[in-house]
Amino acid sequence: DVKVTQSSRYLVKRTGEKVFLECVQDMDHENMFWYRQDPGLGLRLIYFSYDVKMKEKGDIPEGYSVSREKKERFSLILESASTNQTSMYLCASRRDSPLHFGNGTRLTVT
């Protein structure tokens, strides 16, 4: 069974901090994704990666960057956290359909 693991379930950070959200998958999937989930807005794509060191912007990349140095790991970076980045962050991976999700990281920026 595919396992997508997000390193933290809950994070509390201060405005201006640099924040790293880590995601690891164990099924050798080429494609990995970071989504943000907010009430009434569904899941919005921040960035995705289709191979090591490759990345593509999603719908809302502003204020975020990503890193994919190894196939199994995809990191989301908030360069300078702001309160409007308080949200649930979901990592996912796939080879073909469907997506397999992690359990999410609920980030609060104070």
Extended strands (E) in the chain = 4-6, 10-13, 19-25, 31-38, 42-49, 56-57, 64-70, 73-78, 87-94, 100-101, 105-109
Show Cβ contacts of residue 71 under 8 Å, excluding neighbours closer than 6 positions. Answer: 28, 29, 30, 51, 52
Count of residues in contact with another protein, rule CB under 8 A: 25
**Residue nearer to another protein on the CB measure, 76 or 92:** 92
Per CB under 8 A, the list member of 43, 67, 71, 86 interacting with another protein is 43
Per CB under 8 A, the list member of 92, 93, 107, 109 interacting with another protein is 92
**23 belongs to the binding site for another protein (CB under 8 A):** no
**1 belongs to the binding site for another protein (CB under 8 A):** no
Single out the segment in contact with another protein by CB under 8 A; choices: 13-21, 51-59, 66-74, 76-84.
Answer: 51-59
